């Protein structure tokens, strides 16, 4: 059984690495709150897709990349479950767009000092 702590870590990775935005609410500047229980409930109990337009599954190439790090063992079934439920459109790619924005900001910041 996955602990609440591990569910939280999983959601953190989905948000930070792959840009998942669900079950998150902004509560202040740079501060967010997640509905962890709602997320777990959806993953474990949802019977029908939440958004049929997003129903998708991981490609074999995406699976190979995910297997390149230890978390692949749980990320692959979790992402496929989210894809089946239309919680995340896996066809759009698995990357948080913030990474590009941040990388360019960091480059500009480093140039400025």
Partner 1 sequence: MLYREIFTSCWNFTIGLGLNTAEASEIEMGKVEVDPLIKDLKTNHSDWTITLVTSDEVAKIKEELKNSQNSSVLRGPAPPLTNVYIDKVISQVGTSNQKIEDIGLQQTSHAVSGTVTVAVMEVGYGTENQWLDDERITYQNRDYKLNEAAIDFNNDKIIDAFYHTVTFNSDLKISSGTSALYKFRSTSQNYPWNTIERTINIPHL
Measured from the CB of residue 47, what is the shortest distance to partner 1 in angstroms?
A: 25
Q: Name the residue with tokens 């948080």.
A: 96
DSSP symbols for 69-102: STTHHHHHHHHHHHHHTTSS-GGG-S--THHHHH
37 near partner 1, judged by CB under 8 A = yes
- Where does this chain touch partner 1 (CB under 8 A) — which range of 41-49, 50-58, 82-90, 93-101? 93-101
Among 29, 42, 32, which Cα is nearest to 12's?
A: 32
Q: Which of 1, 8, 39, 48 binds partner 1 (CB under 8 A)?
A: 8
Residue 3 φ then ψ, to 5°: -75, 165
Name the token pair of 86.
């239309």
51 near partner 1, judged by CB under 8 A = no
The DSSP bridge partners found for residue 55 are none
The DSSP bridge partners found for residue 33 are 25
Residue 94 and residue 62 in contact, taking contact as beta carbons nearer than 8 Å: yes
Q: Which of 20, 23, 39, 66 binds partner 1 (CB under 8 A)?
A: 66
27 near partner 1, judged by CB under 8 A = yes
Measured from the CB of residue 16, what is the shortest distance to partner 1 in angstroms?
A: 5
Q: Where does this chain bind partner 1 (CB under 8 A)?
A: 3-9, 12-13, 15-18, 24, 27, 30-34, 36-37, 60-62, 64-72, 75, 93-96, 99-100, 102-103, 105-107, 109
């Amino acid at each position: 059984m996955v602990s609440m702590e591990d569910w939280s870590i999983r959601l953190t990775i989905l948000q930070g690495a792959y840009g998942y935005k669900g079950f998150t609410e902004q509560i202040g500047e740079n501060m967010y709150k997640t509905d962890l229980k709602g997320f777990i409930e959806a993953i474990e109990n949802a019977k029908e897709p939440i958004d049929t337009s997003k129903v998708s599954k991981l490609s074999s190439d995406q699976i190979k990349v995910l297997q390149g790090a230890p978390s692949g063992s749980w990320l692959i079934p979790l992402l496929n479950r989210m894809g089946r439920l239309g919680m995340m459109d896996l066809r759009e790619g698995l990357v948080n767009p913030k990474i590009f924005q941040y990388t360019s900001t960091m480059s500009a910041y480093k140039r400025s000092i």
